[in-house]
């Protein structure tokens, strides 16, 4: 019997291993900033400044930012620009119809973006995507992305990052043919942030998006510890009770 259980567990382990994240480019690991309130606040600031113009987060309200340690006053003064109320859902400034005309498709809602993309890397994917933009004149809006070729969204953070282009190197293959491989980035014009600062900003933005995807996550995990502790006591008592009754059975 025990062999069966081990077999079951193994099979599930194998399954989760095999369906794990796959992506066209290797993904950079997004730093875990989920417990860093200041980072999440800066991420929120980046989000409302650089994302919310086109992308909604229509399942959440501004007032939820209170859970990031902000007061309603701070939220209203720093994170809201177009006369909404704190209790409003976060709607994009642009109308979906306009977005469709400008970019060819309406920008997706970002409330659950890190979770809905979890199958292809989740936070790591977004972290990599936002740092993989480069100038490409063959595309109408002038931007391309190594992690998402021919992406409809121009680089939203170019002002921070500046303009870059990929450096390609020609490598001779074993059969004599030559292939072009990516050999790093070349900064064409500087942004307002250094590359290190920019990576940090994107990490904060991604951490914020991950918080936004499930704001109750922290509460869930904290409560879970207490529930499991209670159940451990309960199970221990049930086990002793069972033992006490069953000692009569010969």
Q: CA geometry: angle at 93 spanning 89 and 95, to 5°?
A: 100
CB of 187 to other proteins, least distance (A): 35
- Identify which of residues 7 and 181 has a Cβ nearer to other proteins in the complex: 7
CB of 166 to other proteins, least distance (A): 26
- Identify which of residues 202 and 213 has a Cβ nearer to other proteins in the complex: 213
In whole angstroms, what is the distance from residue 46 CA to residue 91 CA? 16
Structure-block tokens of residue 220: 């869930």
- Identify which of residues 14 and 38 has a Cβ nearer to other proteins in the complex: 14
- Identify which of residues 61 and 141 has a Cβ nearer to other proteins in the complex: 61
In whole angstroms, what is the distance from residue 86 CA to residue 73 CA? 9
CB of 248 to other proteins, least distance (A): 8
Please, are residues 48 and 80 in contact by the beta-carbon 8 Å criterion?
yes
Please, are residues 114 and 30 in contact by the beta-carbon 8 Å criterion?
no
- Identify which of residues 13 and 190 has a Cβ nearer to other proteins in the complex: 13
Residues found near other proteins in the complex (CB under 8 A): 1, 3-4, 7-8, 11, 14-16, 18-19, 56, 58-60, 64, 89, 91, 96, 106, 108-109, 111-112, 115-119, 214-216, 220-221, 223-225, 227-228, 231-232, 234-235, 238-239, 241-243, 245-247, 249-250
In whole angstroms, what is the distance from residue 204 CA to residue 41 CA? 8
| Beta strands per DSSP E along the chain | 57-61, 89-90, 133-135, 143-145, 162-172, 178-190
CB of 226 to other proteins, least distance (A): 9
């Amino acid at each position: 019997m025990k062999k069966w259980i081990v077999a079951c567990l193994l099979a599930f382990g194998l399954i989760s291993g095999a369906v794990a994240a796959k992506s066209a480019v290797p993904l950079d690991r997004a730093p875990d900033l989920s417990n860093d309130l200041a980072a999440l606040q800066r991420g929120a600031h980046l989000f409302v400044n650089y994302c919310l113009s086109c992308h909604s987060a229509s399942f959440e309200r501004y007032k939820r930012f209170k859970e990031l340690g902000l007061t309603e006053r701070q939220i209203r003064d720093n994170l809201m620009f177009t006369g909404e109320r704190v209790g409003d859902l976060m709607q994009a400034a642009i109308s979906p119809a306009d977005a469709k005309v400008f970019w060819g498709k309406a920008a997706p809602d970002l409330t659950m973006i890190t979770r809905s993309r979890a199958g292809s890397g989740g936070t790591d994917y977004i972290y990599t995507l936002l740092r993989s933009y480069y100038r490409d004149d063959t595309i109408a809006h002038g931007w391309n992305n190594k992690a998402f070729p021919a992406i409809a969204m121009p680089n939203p953070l170019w002002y921070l990052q500046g303009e870059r282009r990929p450096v390609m190197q020609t490598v001779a293959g074993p059969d004599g043919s030559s292939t072009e491989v990516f050999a790093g980035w070349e900064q064409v014009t500087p942004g307002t942030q250094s590359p290190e600062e920019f990576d940090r900003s994107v990490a904060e933005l991604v951490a914020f998006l991950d918080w936004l995807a499930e704001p109750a996550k922290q509460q869930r995990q904290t409560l879970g510890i207490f529930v499991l502790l209670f159940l451990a006591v309960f199970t221990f008592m049930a086990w002793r009770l069972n033992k006490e009754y069953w000692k009569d059975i010969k």
